Amino acid sequence: MAIPGKGVVPADTPVLTADDLGVLRGDGVFETMHVRRGRPWLLDEHLARMARSAARMDLPLPPAAELADLAGQACAEWPAEVEGALRLVCTRGPESGGPVTVFATLAPVSPVAIQARRAGIAVVTATLGFAADARTPAPWLLGGVKSLSYAVNMASQRWATGRGADDVLWVSADGYALEAPTASLVWLSGDTLCTVPAEPTGILPGTTVRWLLDHADRLGWTPAERMVTPAELRGVRGAWLVSSVRGPAAIRALDGAELPTDPELTARINDLLGYP
């Protein structure tokens, strides 16, 4: 763990007060990024998204340079050969008043995440209960914001685990696949690599997915943003849930039905993104 002004401290160092609004209300923002060769990947892109989230929540985030320095301190002695998950957190601070609370944590990527990247995942769909375009005109729903309020996300994943699946694909009330609780949806239709458009749907714009689509031409594919239904995913060449730490996890089953999977396609995506 690293704290501004103190640098790296023991992981059990107290950071939050009992009335911190990040704990009491989930009032704060965070970013998690993949650490490879001892450095956080796509740091600038993650910091830019964190700044957008903070602005949407009227949260006084420290300058990007200070957060980048904090990330560098956390990673300074991290073993180059170990995959890491770096999390930057900023809460609104104590309910009694005071500055925001900022800290960074760094831990090894879990074996479960690495296994999902290598072997694929079984996914079930779950409704969000509102239409795909409901969040855009309702800014209080915080569509596209990576806030600390992840109780629904975690409850969704526990629900999936209880049904023998590995993850969830959220679906709108009007039937469109949107995103997963901690990942973005990507699929290959012909030679077109697609993801769900973030602006009209209010999903979280994925930093890793954005980089992947911006460099899809290296794989001979054309990038696109499209709406898709779960049923339509059964006819594509491949579909993945992509997150910064886990990387691309091929969806091998959706609601109990097998999906087309090609290990070579997954390997090409992993190689392009730099995941081992």
Q: Give pLDDT tens digits for 40-56.
A: 999 999 999 999 999 99
Question: Which pLDDT value is given to residue 231?
Answer: 97
> pLDDT tens across 97-146, in order?
999 999 999 999 999 999 999 999 999 999 999 999 999 999 999 999 99
User: Closest Cα to residue 89, out of 157, 153, 149?
Assistant: 149
Q: Can you tell me the mean pLDDT for 12-30?
A: 96
User: Phi first, then psi: what are they for 157, rounded to 5°?
Assistant: -70, -35
Contact 19, 91 (CB under 8 A): no
pLDDT tier at 208, thresholds 50, 70, 90: very high
Neighbours of 51 (CB within 10 A): 18
Residue 254 and residue 252: Cα distance in Å, rounded?
7
Selection from 180, 141, 148 nearest residue 30 by Cα: 148
Helical spans, DSSP H, in 19-150 = 21-24, 43-56, 64-75, 111-119
Band of pLDDT at residue 16, cut at 50, 70 and 90: very high
Nearest 5°: the CA angle 33, 37, 43 is 30
What is the predicted pLDDT for the residue at 256?
96
pLDDT at residue number 163: 96
pTM: 0.96
Tokens 């309910």 locate to: 95
Give the three-state DSSP class for 158. helix
Return the sign of the alpha-carbon dihedral for residues 72, 73, 79, 85.
negative
